[in-house]
A and B are shown apart, each in its own frame.
Chain A
Amino acid sequence: MKILFALIKKEYLQIIRDPSSIIIAFILPLVSILIYMYGINLDTVKVTIGIKNDDANPEISTLVKSFGHSKYVKSIVYDNQEAVENDITRSKIRGAVIIPNDFSKKLSKNQPADFIIITDGSEVNTANYVQNYSLQIVNGWLMASKYKNISTKALINPIVRVWYNEDLNSHYFILPGSIAVTMTLIGILLTALVVAREWERGTMEALLTTQAKKIDIVLSKYIPYFTLGMMSLSFSVFMCIVVFKVPFRGNLFILFFVSGLFFLTASGIGLLISSKLKNQFLASQVSLSIGFLPSLMLSGLMFPINSMPLFFQYLTMLLPPRYFISFVESEFMAGTVWRIVFINSVFLTFLATILFIAVYKNTDMRLNK
């Protein structure tokens, strides 16, 4: 026990001496949360749409105007087809609406009136927005115009209710979810070099001839970075709840319990890289390569896991942030749901144990060369 404490103390002293650990633990989450807060918006995306009206009827000019009045659309009026095309290629506008010269004529004759919506399909998300916004605006204009057909009344009225997020604020799930992505990265970065460094600097050789046991060495790496990581995680949660006012309906105790399990897996990944490679250069390369993108892309934060091919759904089961995102979003927005807490904790515990065993097995007590 005394040996373990001594090693842990040493690790803390090293953390204090090297500002980069502190920066990783506290500045990085701050930067990250600010980016997710202000740089990322998944609710209502504002797009620039070009509009070209070939119909000389003055009634139609109100349609052009209503594009200008929409909150979500910035419109640019064109009278030259070629300019429209060029600007779409250049990504200056994300799409365009073209009103043909017989538009008002057909409307007054009660024939279906043709018009064209062009989108820049190279950006699929904005293309969808262009399509939806344009249809809404044209429809809205029609309902308020003299061309409105009385009989147009849908018999079924679908009402959408969004539970747990009535305000439809995507930050309510992005911010807590982003903690999982950031913390995976931080867990790996904090720990990926700490074992390799001791091998390279020769301190491991001295350590191996002391009375420190394998379990002491492993735990002395886990515990300090785990506590540092948990402080960092608490800091992020604090920022979410207090500064950015994300509603928290769950239980703080449960949140910290599952966070702890999660951070054990994140630091386990880093320690595994470090103790396996024993070389700072290679460990850095690996952690830079896998630290960020997989957890951003495959954890379910941005892209639905359910829609992936089955094999890849199973593959994501190896990613700790997947479970944490699922848990943390639910805990924040719906409060404690025991089934969700339980399933995710079980998987996290399982992964944390496997990683711990792997780290332990890969901690050498002798030199290889």
Chain B
Amino acid sequence: MINDMLRRVIALVKKEFITTWKDPRSRRIIIALPLMQLLIFANAITMEVKNIDVAVLDRANTVESRELLSRFENSPRFRKFYYVENESLLKNKIDNQFVQIGLYINNDFSTNIKKKTPASILIISDGRQTNSASIASAYATQIANDYGDEISNVSLQLNPTVRNWFNPNLEYRWYLLTIIVAMLALIITLLLTALSIAREREMGTFDQLVVSPLTSFEILLGKTLPPLVIAMFLTVIMTLIIIVFFKIPFNGSAILFLISVFISLLSITGVGLFISSICKTQQQAILGVITFQMPAILLSGFISPIEDMPQFLQHLTMLNPIRFFMLLVRGIFLKGMSFNDVFYNLIPLVLIAILTLSLAALTFKRKLD
């Protein structure tokens, strides 16, 4: 009995592997595209703002103003400096995006400093690129403040010590890469699962499966295992890449990590199979995937923290497997999360997996007509 079942499931698993993995074109897509994206994102993306170009209108043109500007010039974050003569040229440089920020020093700059009254310096940032502009203007403010502190000789009252746990230098890449691994794993799993049943429906082969002695449960099992194994394999490869080539510290337990990846991928497989089971064509299936995938990524806490979202969306993210997946990957990687903490975050994933997989299995049967 069990043997028969096992045989059927193995046959199905084998068939699935042949279709997705043995086919060289399909395999190339599944392996190459995610890995390529990993390498590009890992190397390209940074939150640090560099190569800032600046337009300067120095109406004071004094020792002090030139000293301040030389601080800017010596900062590695700033690149080109355009010295302009008047306001309209300054505006022109900013309007046309030759520069990201503009500096304006009024002609009373040095006199104010000598009078010991605060001397203003205007930092104009290009609000069209708000994200990087606000970071660039923060750098500029910092430089100006430091210079101000230096010439005013104030004694510091506070002496804060900042300790950045788990990532002492706040390397953005550490954070980003753990998240990208989770995102790419999500994408791989969805594209492996969401098409599988819809495609069989379109080709007419699903009828053949239904008429065979395969039970719904066996079909579900046969459809779950291959994508899970492939996605698991690719996730491990990506993890090794970020550890070996990008030197991201792995502080947690490898076993806990593998278990978490497994359960996360299982829950995503459930979502993918559920989408696939309700779709008649592949066109509908990719639509289904995108309608899930886009919100899932945007609302995962990666771009903007979850506690910052409206209450309604916060509740909705409880259904988002990628939210917990990212938390676990990052937590185990960087924080070395303990068993208890991992377990706590796995519960929602297990629930999502149970819910979606059973929905998928139910829909196989329902959709016969």
Q: Do A and B touch, yes or no (CB under 8 Å, in the complex)?
A: yes
With a cutoff of 8 Å between Cβ atoms, the chain B residues found around residue A32 in the complex are 294
Q: Is the CB–CB distance between A334 and B95 below 8 Å?
A: yes
Which residue of chain B has the shortest Cβ distance to A291 in the bound complex? B290
* A339 nearest CB across to chain B (Å): 4
- In angstroms, Cα B281 to Cα A48, docked, is 46
Contact among A45, A154, A284 with B285 in the assembled complex (CB-CB below 8 Å): A284
* A 71-125 contacts with B by CB, 8 A: 74, 88-91, 94, 107, 110, 112-125
B48 on the A face (CB < 8 A): yes
Tell me which residues across on chain A come within 8 A of B334, comparing CB atoms: 121-122
Task: Tell me if B339 is interfacial: C-beta within 8 Å of chain A.
Answer: no
Mostly, the B contact residues are: helix
A355 to B72, CA, bound (A): 43
**Interface membership of A350, Cβ < 8 A:** no
- Judged by a CB distance under 8 angstroms, whether A253 is at the interface is no
Question: Which of A113, A158, A185, A307 sits near B121, CB closer than 8 Å?
Answer: A158
Interface contact A38-B310, CB-CB below 8 Å: yes
Q: Is B63 an interface residue (CB 8 A)?
A: no
Answer whether A113 and B131 are a contact pair too, CB < 8 Å, given A38-B309, A127-B164, A185-B294: no
Given the complex, which residues of B lie within 8 Å of A161, measured CB to CB?
122-125
| A58 CB, nearest partner CB in chain B, Å | 20
- B152–A155 CB distance below 8 A: yes
Q: Is B160 interfacial (CB 8 A cutoff)? A: yes
Contact (Cβ within 8 A) A162 B127: yes
* Interface size range of chain A in the complex: 35 or more
Q: B49, A285: Cβ atoms under 8 Å?
A: no
Contact B128 A330 (CB under 8 A): yes
B284 touches A149 (CB 8 A): no
Residue of A nearest to B187 (CB): A289
Find the residue from A48, A193, A289, A326 having the highest chain B CB count within 10 A. Answer: A289
Interface residues of B (CB under 8 A from A): 25-26, 29-30, 33-34, 37, 40-41, 43-52, 68, 94-97, 100, 113, 116, 118-135, 137, 140-141, 144-145, 147-149, 151-152, 154-168, 170-172, 174-175, 178, 183-184, 187-188, 190-191, 194-195, 199, 202, 281-287, 289-291, 293-295, 297-299, 303-305, 307-310, 313, 327, 330-331, 333-335, 337-338, 341, 344
Where the two chains meet, the residues of A that have a C-beta atom closer than 8 Å to any C-beta of B are 18, 20-21, 23-24, 27-28, 31-32, 35-36, 38-42, 45-48, 74, 88-91, 94, 107, 110, 112-128, 131, 134-135, 138-139, 142, 147, 149, 151-166, 168, 170, 172-173, 182, 185, 189, 192-193, 197, 277, 279-282, 284-294, 296-298, 300, 302-304, 306-309, 312, 315-316, 326, 329-330, 333-334, 337, 339-340
